[in-house]
Amino acid sequence: MRTREEPQVDTPRPGWLGPWLKGYPPLHAPVPLQAVARQGWRLQDLPTPVAVLRERALAHNIAWMQAFAHARGVQLAPHGKTTMSPQLLRRQLAAGAWGLTFANVHQLRVGLAAGTRRALIANQLLARAELAQLLASRRQHPGLEIAFFVDSLAQLDLLATHWRDLQAEQDGEPRLDVLIELGDRRCGVRDHDSALQLARALRVHPALRLRGIGFYEGLRATGESAADAELMQAWQQRVQTLLDAIDAEGLLETDAQPLWLSGGGSAIFDLVTPVLAGQGAPRLGLLRSGCYLCHDHAHYGRYQRVMDERLGTPLGQPSLQPALEVWTQVLSCPEPGLALLNAGRRDLSFDQGWPVPVWHLADGLRLGAPAHWRVDGLNDQHAYLRWDPAAGCGPQVGERVALGPSHPCTTFDKWSWMAVLDEGDRVVDAITTDFG
């Protein structure tokens, strides 16, 4: 029975959840997001497929990562593109994050709405519309501190042209802060001389002011401690060489102190933080890790096990815990050793490996998935769960199976909402996402 506060039609409405969303109870009336916990739902009440987050793991990861950054003498600027969830971004900020990182100005709007007033755009901006939007955001939010990446003189020339077209200098707009990106495999300056040339050009640029240096090490991370330590030693030398040259020529303006130095994905961030903290001139080390929030069951889980060895984390007490699951149901067991689940590429990430079976419900009990179960393929709406019949039993038709994604980023963008569960599988909260 509908209450007076509920909408009269089951159509999307801002701030509400309803049957238009996959994973929402289809016969339940729409409810305001903040009222989800009062519905008394349990995991079994949600239709499959459904993406859920574990509150205990979320809270642990947020607190652990904030404490880690503090202990290492750096600030946390988590990458918002991982979840694009206003509720989760607010939790990260409330826990003490310095600010947020985004990939573009479109994503930045979500961070501003969530309350951040410090941000990095860890990417190159080129278009006139992007520059105009950035200026508008700064006017709308006085005191907003923001910087984006540059890596070429061609980019600087384009932005100078746009600055003139927008008449920003005549309007008295202060210059925009940028970080020179040092790159490897992806965007970013490839050699020292080109980076120093950029720093010199920025000293006299009409629209841009040098604020610091950014880099991303993750594309060469291996998960082997010796190789990854050597990788970060090379980054340390490269960064310090450029910092020394910038300092020697006085290319960083006095009012741009401290220098911002940003790096870090979610794979080897313990080896990145010594580069960010560094020694010498005042600097603000900004760690951009994003996937720590919900971690994962495979890709980052492998890196974490090696990292925990470096950190001396006691066995059985992982530094980060998987928080994201996608629950499915067995549609068919058409042959021995094969079960077809009702979730696929529309529901789960697959860019860094197949999802991992982690739980199943049997006779109303949540049990760990047997080690010999594996997913070895996804279609749009199906997952192929296989096992060796000689090694044990598989799931039955109608049984529920939870899959743990490998690389959470590209699972979040497949869901407009996610239920948050306690350890008793009760729905205690919900989050939304805004990927546009």
Smallest CA-to-CA distance from 341 within 325, 352, 357, 364 is with 357
Whole-number Å distance between alpha carbons of 355 and 376:
8
Do the strands 400-404 and 356-362 form a parallel or antiparallel pair, or are they unpaired?
Answer: antiparallel
pLDDT of 11: 80
pLDDT of 7: 45
Whole-number Å distance between alpha carbons of 265 and 373:
30
CA angle 79, 379, 360 (to 5 degrees): 75
pLDDT of 257: 83
pLDDT of 342: 98
pLDDT of 195: 98
Per-position pLDDT tens, the chain of length 436: 444 444 445 788 889 999 999 999 999 999 999 999 999 999 999 999 999 999 999 999 999 999 999 999 999 999 999 999 999 999 999 999 999 999 999 999 999 999 999 999 999 999 999 999 999 999 999 999 999 999 999 999 999 999 999 999 888 999 999 999 999 999 999 999 999 999 999 999 999 999 999 999 988 999 999 999 999 999 999 999 999 999 999 999 888 789 999 998 899 999 999 999 987 678 999 999 999 999 998 999 999 999 999 999 987 788 999 999 999 999 999 999 999 999 999 999 999 999 999 999 988 899 999 999 999 999 999 999 999 999 999 999 999 999 999 989 999 999 999 999 999 999 999 999 999 8
pLDDT of 280: 67
pLDDT of 106: 95
